[in-house]
């Protein structure tokens, strides 16, 4: 049985972009696989790259159309959308963030995996905050962690982030 | 501590007397919230064993915070605002009726087309639709601040664009209240409906701080929400054991965080969302325990807290709350296939809060008092008034909408409210052609929202209720 709150491996494999789609360009990774009555990602997308035929169909990203703008990362009510950009030995991972303080560019934070394990320290390359107070923080991690890092934690803080 | 989502407008500082002690508070706070903020967690005692009792539901439903205020016993202090110089004392354990007769109260009277009871998402939506169609509407709400539970929901809602998907609950409350502001509804806040004498029209008695009101209405929409469930375990009445909604009220309405560490019981959406909100408030969430073999809420809500390091322990339950005057710990235990505790698997967490997110029960006192037919429907959270798809009950002119018609979500509550409000207005002969369009569209959205597997249970319950409605509603 899979861990609660962690997408099973086989389901996750379907949600991740093939390397060539994310090489040198950021694309959305939508980790939402249940039939939830929600289609926020579909209508916020400026290039209609989110495929979602019915409100309860799990969304898919058309990675060829996705421009990596991050609008859906900031808008998703489930905080279930991330962005990944592969870049040689490195990768940039963007995560939604709703804690204080919002780390600034150049700061070093913990990179956490899907169960909160500190798998690396990472430099913040970008942080933006939407009008409705969700932030998107982009960090640089080794390429091998591109699809396992999904949260950050400021280093000096405990669990509160 | 700053909050990542909320800003608190606490208002002026006030001072009141609590058993001879002067307590400083803010005028925006309830008496109970102000006491909890001071670290006073025992708000009363149980009648027989004199066990300390504390803050639980925060919305005037559980009676755990009854105190004597300015000589008046059994005041629900969680929905009573603090005022300068007010005298508050705990009851040991029951209050005493004042010897002197109450001051002469001037009764208010009102004659409206529609009375909405409860100003949460369902009630606000009903009031908006009915007012738009030209009905004269009054809204009675028990709380100091209107908006129901929306004003505690810091997360963004799911749904479709026309139902505020991607918008935080607190912002939806602002939108609805602003919309209603532009219409001409009459608000009665801190107003508790005592009885609805339903005959050809509705003769409703309402208790307010100024005195009793009598409201005559052609139609009534009951949107009174729900009450948080309690589960049995030793020490479940210790101060520090709180309902999830009660804690949300403290944290998000009053900016009061009554502890440093928490254990949450129940991994449905409420428990999962609350865990995330506790992290945002700086609380150390030790674990979420869930007795079932899988989480009840959405995986995305679970993922949010897992990646921040919060464990979700399936097939685990709370064995007991530990502590004498307040919660000092929680002992959990694993359960077997038949939910029996497995001896030797106990584990203790040092926490000062135990939060129960174990479901809700519809608040149906008003329809039942008025004689509405009801049934026990487990899929909808317990006793619900029988209602048809237009939310009509068996009492002529009485509608029910939102959680009080069956536990569901704020989005469906808003849609049900729109149906009920528009239908009530149409029945009064107010622009029935326009009402029909509103009703049709809201019903379409309801069906779409309920189309997924997560709504299967609710849909089953609703269908049973609608079927019964064909028998009991003329």
- A160 within domain boundaries: no
B287 touches chain A (CB under 8 A): no
| Contact between chains at A1 and B293 (C-beta distance less than 8 A) | yes
pLDDT over 60 at A160, yes or no: no
B101 within 8 A of B76, measured Cβ to Cβ? no
Rounded CA separation B23/B196 (Å): 39
Residue B1 clears pLDDT 90, i.e. is over it:
no
> Which tokens go with B2?
């700053």
Q: Rounded mean pLDDT of A11-30?
A: 98
Q: Are B120 and B420 within 8 A, CB to CB? A: no
For the domain made up of B13-89, the CATH class stated in words is alpha beta
C-beta atoms of A116 and B307 within 8 A: yes
For residue B307, the chain A residues in CB contact (below 8 A) are: 112-116, 150-151
Task: Specify the pLDDT at position B441.
Answer: 98
- Taking the alpha carbons at both ends of chain A, their separation in whole angstroms is 30
User: Residue A51 domain-assigned?
Assistant: yes
Is residue B139 packed enough to be buried (19+ CB in 10 Å), middle (13-18) or exposed (0-12)?
A: buried
Burial A109-134 (b: 16+ CB within 10 A, else e): bbbbbbbbeebbebebeebeeeeebb
Task: Assign A1 a pLDDT band (cuts: 50, 70, 90).
Answer: low
The pLDDT tens digits for B237-256 are 999 999 999 999 999 999 99
Judge whether B155 is closer than 8 Å to chain A, CB to CB.
yes
Of B360, B381, B366, B375, residue with least CA distance to B222:
B366
Mean pLDDT computed over B77-83: 97
* Residue range A131-149: mean pLDDT, rounded: 98
When scoring A31, A39, A52, A77 by the number of chain B Cβ atoms within 10 A, the one with the most, hence best to mutate, is A77
Residue A161: per-residue pLDDT: 40
What is the residue whose two structure tokens read 């861990």? A3
May I ask the CATH architecture of the domain B235-358? 3-Layer(bba) Sandwich (3.50)
Over chain B, what is the mean pLDDT? Answer: 96
Pairing between strand B137-141 and B186-189?
Answer: parallel
Taking the Cβ of residue B291 and every Cβ of chain A, the question of whether any pair is shorter than 8 Å is answered with no
From B3, B158, B282, residue closest to A77, measured CB to CB: B158
Rounded to whole angstroms, the Cα distance separating B89 from B355 reads 26
Query: Inter-chain contact B307–A151, Cβ cutoff 8 Å?
Result: yes
Tell me the mean pLDDT in the region A35-58: 96
Least confident range from A109-113, A153-157, B372-376: namely A153-157
- Residue in A with minimal Cα distance to B155: A77
Burial class (CB in 10 A: 0-12, 13-18, 19+), B130: buried
pLDDT digits (tens, 9 = 90+) for B374-429: 999 999 999 999 999 999 999 999 999 999 999 999 999 999 999 999 999 999 99
Chain B residue with CA closest to A151: the answer is B307
Q: Is B349 on the interface with A (CB under 8 A)?
A: no
For an interface test with A, give the residue of B452, B456, B457, B459 to mutate (most A CBs within 10 A). Answer: B452
Do B259 and B240 touch, CB atoms closer than 8 A? yes
CB atoms B294 and A4 under 8 Å: yes
User: Rounded to whole angstroms, how far apart are CA atoms B417 and B395?
Assistant: 17
Compute the nearest-CA separation of B166 from chain A (Å): 5
Contact B222, B398 (CB under 8 A): yes
| DSSP secondary structure letter of residue B119 | -
CA-based torsion, B130, B134, B140, B145: positive or negative: positive
The domain B108-227+361-472 having CATH identifier 3.50.50.60: the answer here is yes
- Tell me the domain boundaries of chain B: 13-89, 108-227+361-472, 235-358
What does each C-alpha distance from B220 to B113, B121, B123, B142, B397 come to in angstroms?
9, 16, 10, 16, 6
Whether residues B307 and A112 touch (CB distance < 8 A) is answered with yes
A108-112, strands of its sheet edge to edge = A27-30, A81-87, A90-97, A135-142, A118-129, A108-112, A151-153
CB contact under 8 A, B159 and A79: no
Q: What is the DSSP letter of B249?
A: I
- How many angstroms away from the CA of B38 is the closest CA of chain A? 23
Burial of A104 (0-12, 13-18, 19+ CB in 10 A): exposed
Any idea of the CA torsion for B138, B139, B145, B146, to the nearest 10 degrees? -120
A4 neighbourhood in chain B, CB within 8 Å: 267, 290, 294-295, 302, 306, 312, 314
Residues of B in contact with A98 (CB under 8 A): 4-5, 280
Closest approach of chain A CAs to the CA of B41, in angstroms?
Answer: 24
Residue of A34, A98, A114 with shortest CB distance to B306? A114
In B118-243, at which residue ranges do the beta strands (DSSP E only) sit?
Answer: 137-141, 186-189, 192-198, 202-208, 211-222, 226-228, 241-243
Q: What is the mean pLDDT of residues B100-125?
A: 92
In this prediction, residues B309-319 reach a mean pLDDT of: 98
How near does any CA of chain B get to the CA of A143, in Å?
19
Q: Which two tokens stand for residue B132?
A: 């738009």
The sign of the torsion formed by the CA atoms of B53, B55, B57, B58 equals positive
Enclosing domain of residue A110: 9-153
- B306/A6 CB distance under 8 A: yes
Q: What secondary structure, in 3-state letters, does A120-159 show?
A: EEEEEEEEEECCCCCEEEEEEEEHHHCCCCCEEECCCCCC
pLDDT of residue A146: 98
CB B414 within 8 A of CB B120: no
Q: How many CB pairs under 8 A join A and B?
A: 143
The arithmetic mean of pLDDT across residues B224-237, rounded, is 97
**B251 part of contact set with chain A, CB < 8 Å:** no
Average pLDDT over residues B199-211: 93
> From the list B166, B452, B453, which residue is nearest A40 (CB)?
B166
Nearest to B351 by CA among B269, B288, B267, B305: B288
Number of domains in chain A: 1
pLDDT of A48 > 70? The answer is yes
Contact B98, B72 (CB under 8 A): yes
A114 and B303 in contact by Cβ < 8 A?
yes
Of A31, A56, A158, the CB nearest to B303: A31
Residue whose token pair is 């040198």? A24
Q: How far apart are CA B5 and CA B210, in angstroms?
A: 35
Task: Calculate the average pLDDT of chain A.
Answer: 95
User: In the prediction, which pLDDT does B100 show?
Assistant: 84
Q: How far apart are CA B446 and CA B441, in angstroms?
A: 9
Quote ipTM for the complex.
0.96
User: Does A4 sit within 8 Å of B306, measured CB to CB?
Assistant: yes
Q: Are B451 and A55 inside 8 Å of each other by CB?
A: yes
Instruction: Identify the residue among A6, A29, A38 best suited for mutation to test binding to B, counting B beta carbons within 10 A and taking the highest.
Output: A38
**What is the DSSP code (8-state) at residue B46?**
-
Average pLDDT (B132-161) is 96
Query: What residues are paired with B189 via a beta bridge?
Result: B141
Q: How far apart are CA B128 and CA B350, in angstroms?
A: 47
pLDDT above 70 covers what percent of chain A? 96
Query: Is residue B381 left, alpha or beta, with left meaning phi > 0 and alpha meaning psi from -120 to 50?
Result: left
Record: contact B452-A36, CB cut-off 8 A: yes
Cα A115 from Cα A92, distance rounded (Å) = 20
| Residues A122, A110: Cα–Cα separation, whole Å | 6
Strand ranges in A60-133 using DSSP code E only, listed in sequence order: 60-61, 81-87, 90-97, 108-112, 118-129
Q: CA of A2 to nearest chain B CA: how many angstroms apart?
A: 10
């Amino acid at each position: 049985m899979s861990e609660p709150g962690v997408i099973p491996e086989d389901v996750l494999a379907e949600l991740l972009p093939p390397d060539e789609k994310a090489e040198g360009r950021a694309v959305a990774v939508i980790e939402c696989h249940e039939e939830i009555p929600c289609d926020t990602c579909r209508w916020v997308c400026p290039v209609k790259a989110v495929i979602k035929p019915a409100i309860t169909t799990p969304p898919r990203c058309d990675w060829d159309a996705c421009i990596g703008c991050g609008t859906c990362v900031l808008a998703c009510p489930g905080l279930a959308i991330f962005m990944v950009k592969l870049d040689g030995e490195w990768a940039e991972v963007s995560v939604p963030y709703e804690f204080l303080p919002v780390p600034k560019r150049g700061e070093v934070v913990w990179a956490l995996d899907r169960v909160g394990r500190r798998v690396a320290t990472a430099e913040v390359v970008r942080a933006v905050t939407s009008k409705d107070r969700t932030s998107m923080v982009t960090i640089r991690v080794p390429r091998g962690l591109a699809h396992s890092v999904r949260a950050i934690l400021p280093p000096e803080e405990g669990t509160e982030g | 501590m700053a909050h990542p989502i909320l800003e608190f407008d606490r208002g002026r500082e006030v001072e009141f007397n609590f058993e001879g002690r002067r307590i400083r508070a803010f005028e925006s706070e309830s008496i109970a919230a102000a006491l909890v903020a001071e670290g006073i967690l025992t708000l009363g005692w149980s009648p027989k064993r004199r066990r300390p009792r504390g803050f639980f539901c925060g919305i005037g439903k559980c009676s755990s915070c009854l105190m004597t205020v300015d000589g008046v016993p059994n005041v629900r202090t969680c929905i009573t605002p603090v005022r300068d110089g007010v005298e508050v004392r705990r009851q040991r354990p029951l209050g005493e009726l004042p010897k002197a007769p109450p001051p002469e109260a001037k009764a208010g009277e009102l004659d409206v087309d529609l009375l909405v009871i409860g100003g949460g998402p369902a009630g606000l939506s009903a009031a908006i639709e009915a007012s738009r169609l030209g009905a004269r509407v009054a809204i009675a709400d028990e709380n100091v601040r209107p908006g129901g539970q929306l004003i505690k929901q810091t997360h963004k809602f799911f749904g479709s664009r026309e139902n505020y998907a991607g918008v935080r609950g607190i912002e939806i409350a602002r939108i609805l209240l602003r919309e209603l502001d532009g219409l001409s509804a009459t608000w009665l806040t801190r107003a508790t409906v005592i009885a609805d004498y339903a005959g050809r029209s509705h003769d409703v008695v309402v208790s307010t701080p100024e005195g009793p009101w009598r409201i005559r209405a052609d139609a009534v929409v009951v949107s009174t929400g729900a009450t948080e469930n309690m589960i049995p375990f030793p020490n479940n009445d210790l101060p520090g054991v709180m309902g999830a909604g009660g804690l949300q009220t403290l944290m998000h309405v009053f900016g009061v965080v009554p502890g440093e560490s928490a254990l949450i019981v129940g991994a449905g959406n409420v428990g999962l969302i609350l865990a995330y909100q506790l992290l945002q408030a700086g609380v150390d969430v030790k674990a979420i325990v869930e007795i079932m073999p899988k989480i009840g809420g959405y995986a995305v809500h679970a993922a949010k807290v897992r990646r921040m390091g919060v464990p979700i322990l399936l097939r685990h339950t709370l064995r007991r709350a530990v502590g004498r005057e307040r919660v000092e710990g929680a002992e959990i235990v694993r359960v077997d296939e038949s939910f029996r505790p497995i001896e030797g698997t106990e584990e203790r967490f040092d926490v000062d809060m135990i939060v129960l997110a174990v479901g809700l029960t519809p608040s149906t006192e008003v329809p039942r008092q008025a004689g509405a037919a009801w049934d026990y429907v487990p899929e909808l959270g317990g006793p619900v008034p029988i209602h048809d798809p237009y939310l009509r009950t068996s009492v002529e002119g009485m509608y029910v909408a939102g959680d009080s018609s069956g536990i569901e979500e704020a989005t469906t509550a808003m849609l049900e409210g729109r149906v009920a409000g528009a239908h009530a207005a149409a029945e009064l002969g107010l622009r029935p052609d326009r009402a029909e369009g509103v009703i049709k569209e809201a019903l379409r959205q309801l069906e779409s929202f309920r189309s997924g597997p997560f709504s299967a249970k609710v849909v089953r319950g609703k269908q049973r209720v609608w079927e019964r409605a064909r028998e009991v509603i003329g």
